[in-house]
Each structure stands twice: as C-alpha cells, then as structure tokens.
Amino acid sequence: MRYGYARVSTTDQDVGSQTAKLSDAGVLPEHIYVDVGISGSKKSRPGLDNLLSVLMPGDEVVVFRMDRLGRSLKNMIELADDLHGQGVTIVSVGEGIRTDQALGRMMMQLFSLLAEWERTYIIERINAGIAKAKKFGTRSGQAIGRPRRTGRAVSLALKLIEEGHSHRDAAGIARVSKSSVVRALQRERAAA
C-alpha cells in the first residue's frame, strides 16, 4: 500500500502542492497524512505518528522531498532505519529516491544532512538578526528615526565654521544636518 506524508512548518503555508504531487505519484487522498504548523525537527508529530501506526511490511511512504519527513539528521536516519527494518520503503518523488535501494539510502542520508545544515544556518541568521534588533532596541533591527550623529561630527562642523566655512558647507563636510550645527552654536552661545 502507498501512503503519503506532507508537512509544512507554519500555519501560513499550504500543503496543497505537496499533496498534489503525492496524488500524482499514486497515493490515494485518504492515505495522505499531513502535519501543518509543525517543525520537522520535532520527532513526534500527530500526522506522522498516525501514519507510522498503520504501516505494514511492504508498504511505501511517499513524500514530496526527504526534508518533509524531518530536518534533524539523527531523527531522519532513525526513522529511515526503523522503517527499513519493518520492510517499509520511503519514496521521495521530488528527488527520485527509494530507500529500498543502496543508492537511495545514501542519497537520503545526504539530503538529510543538507536539511540539517540549512536549519542550523537559518537559526544562525535569525539569532544574528535578533542580536542586531536588541542593539537598536527594536524588533526589526532598524534604528528608530535618524541615527544620532556623534559629537565629533558636530564639533568638526563648528571648527569648520570658525575657519570661515558657511554653516551649510560645514554641515555638508561633517555630514550632519545644518539644523544640528545651528543648535550646537545656540548651545555654545547660551553657555557663554
């Protein structure tokens, strides 16, 4: 018997394209098990658990891609080994892999390794984004308003004005706004 398994990590995603490919591969719609909004890194998933409970020797589990079964290399290898030990074959229609063949088992392990690497890489990028956001005090990582210019830039503009440059030219050279230069001049006069 051919069974299908489809998974998406978020509820915003749609499994329709995966289930269509599984149907094209000869899996009846009532034999397709689905997990929506569940990460492939989780070992236990309701749809996958239900699928595993009905499998018998000689059955095939058809997936769109191997990473739909999971992203953890350890879990993927354990699952593939368990199914192989039960006489169940994994078939990936997207990658042309069958685990009842030596080449297919090797390719499955290679794709699982790449999926785990991709997941780790995504986590690293997310953590870098979070660190940047914390640095700026925002969720997006973008500074609120214009970034403040250092006092050195304004000091440079004031020095240029003392040397005879106009307010506009001094502000342009120091890369600060003319209003910042004018406010700094007003503060100096008020302090004097």
Active site residue ranges: 9
CA distance 82 to 52: 10
CA distance 97 to 150: 59
Amino acid at residue number 3 = Y
CA distance 174 to 159: 10
Residue 128 contacts residue 139 (beta carbons within 8 Å): no
* Phi, psi angles (nearest 5°) of residue 113: -60, -45
Half-sphere exposure of residue 126: CA atoms within 13 angstroms, side-chain side = 6
